[in-house]
Amino acid sequence: MAKQLAAIVGIGQTNHTATRGDVSIAGLVREAAQRALADAEMTWDDIDAVVVGKAPDFFEGVMMPELYLADALGCVGKPLLRVHTAGSVGGSTAIVAASLVQAGIHERVLTVAFEKQSESEAMWALSLPMPFSPPLVAGAGGFFAPHIRAYMHRSGAPPHIGCLVALKDRQNALKNPYAHLHEHDVTFEKIEESIMLWDPIRYSETCPSSDGAAALVISNEAGGDANGNAAWILGTAMRSEPTMFAGRDAVNPLAGQQCADDVFAQAGIKDRRAEIDVAEIYVPFSWYEPMWMENLGFAAQGEGWKMTEEGATAMDGDLPINPSGGVLSTNPIGASGMIRFAESAMQVRGQAGEHQIDGAKTALGHAYGGGSQFFAMWVVSGNKPG
């Protein structure tokens, strides 16, 4: 039997902020899920199965919280599956949910990803001890800063590129009512003058810690047809490689390249830069935009930063990246990947409001996690394939 068509017919996300003190974890996920159901014009009874994703359980201190969330997510009597693939989890979770439909097992699946980072201290939760290494890593920024320095050295990128990405994403976030950061007075100078946290990563080139959740309703072909404005899934891919291995390139990971090759091949895309209208990619530190432009094959090696400098990745550029404001403006870690996937679907459905890219028909959603070693991607289209 062959893989079946699946489509995103409902999308919901919470309002994201540093502390959602007004809701429990259950209240948070329910807010996103109910918005997705409302968007799909469905009720809880229409859902066949639920797939939940989040990053480490230690963030909230609840072991396997999906068990406690079963009631809030309307799953009593239904299948409930929990995915955890580090920072890429939001993307992986959407892919697992899609596969339940693509395999013909279920007709309509609800998938939810969340993080309530205010119930934790993400900086130290992410400071993992590395065997045989001095404990110098402070947070994810401490881990990724050397990779960024290596990229700058390798590509000869000028030092202001990271600030340009941050300015673009924070300005884009002003158009997104759900975004965590709304910095109305942001300027290039303010970013450049912000404190250096992990050289070369400045404070304003860093993602925030957010509370938030995202949810999708994924339907089979009949449901996609009935919806009339579905985002059709053209391809999904996941790849993993080791954290520590002398042969790997943490600046341009092979897992990311192969994941991109796979997902674009499934979607029938040959000229990636020309055929993708908009992309939501996982950029928690500004320099990951040019790095991922190369890893995803949108730019040649060493040339990714030129796309940023030329404005190609701006809202009015030829390949807009993160019109939502991206992870740099909103980062509930376990949900961040699913927000990328959701935003890509919103774009091809023409649903993105002020940050809509006119005429967007084909979009990439991208997430990565761990030590740049886990990748999850999908390509969605407003046009039904075939």
Partner 1 sequence: MRDVAVVAFAQSKHERRIEGYNEIEMMMPVVGELWERTGLSANTVGFTCSGSTDFLAGQAFSFVTILDAIGPWPPISESHVEADGAWALYEAWVKLQMGEIDSALIYSYGKSSPGDLPKVLTTQLEPYVTAPLWPDAVSIAGLQARALLDSGKATEADLAEVAVRSRGNAKANPKAQLAGDFTVEQILAEPYLANPLRKHDCPPITDGAAAMIIAAGDLARELCERPAWIRGIDHRVEAHALGVRDLTDSPSTRLAGQKAGVGDGKIDIAELHAPFTHQELILADALGLGDDVAVNPSGGALAANPVMAAGLIRIGEAAERITAGGADRAVAHATSGPCLQQNLVCVLEGEG
- The residue ranges that bind partner 1 (CB under 8 A) are 1-3, 24-25, 55-65, 67-71, 75-86, 92, 96, 99-100, 102-105, 125-126, 128, 237-245, 247-248, 253-255, 258-259, 370-371, 373-374
Where is 260: in which H helix or E strand? helix 254-266
CB of 255 to partner 1, least distance (A): 4
CB of 249 to partner 1, least distance (A): 11
Where is 356: in which H helix or E strand? none
Cβ contacts of 223-229, under 8 Å, gap ≥ 24: 223/7, 223/9, 223/107, 223/108, 224/5, 224/6, 224/7, 224/9, 224/384, 225/384, 227/7, 227/9, 227/40, 229/349, 229/350, 229/351, 229/382
Nearer to partner 1 among residue 263 and residue 342 (C-beta): 263
Nearer to partner 1 among residue 1 and residue 195 (C-beta): 1
CB of 39 to partner 1, least distance (A): 24
Indicate the residue type of 145. Answer: A
d(CA 217, CA 48): 10
CB of 297 to partner 1, least distance (A): 15
Nearer to partner 1 among residue 72 and residue 150 (C-beta): 72
Per the listing, tokens 């899934």 go with 233
Nearer to partner 1 among residue 129 and residue 156 (C-beta): 129
Nearer to partner 1 among residue 99 and residue 356 (C-beta): 99
d(CA 258, CA 265): 10
Contact 212, 176 (CB under 8 A): no
Per the listing, tokens 């502390």 go with 19
CB of 121 to partner 1, least distance (A): 12
Nearer to partner 1 among residue 239 and residue 349 (C-beta): 239
d(CA 38, CA 52): 19
Contact 55, 86 (CB under 8 A): yes
CB of 158 to partner 1, least distance (A): 31
CB of 47 to partner 1, least distance (A): 13
Per the listing, tokens 């439909």 go with 101
Nearer to partner 1 among residue 75 and residue 327 (C-beta): 75
Q: 187 is written with which tokens? A: 């300027």
Contact 130, 143 (CB under 8 A): no
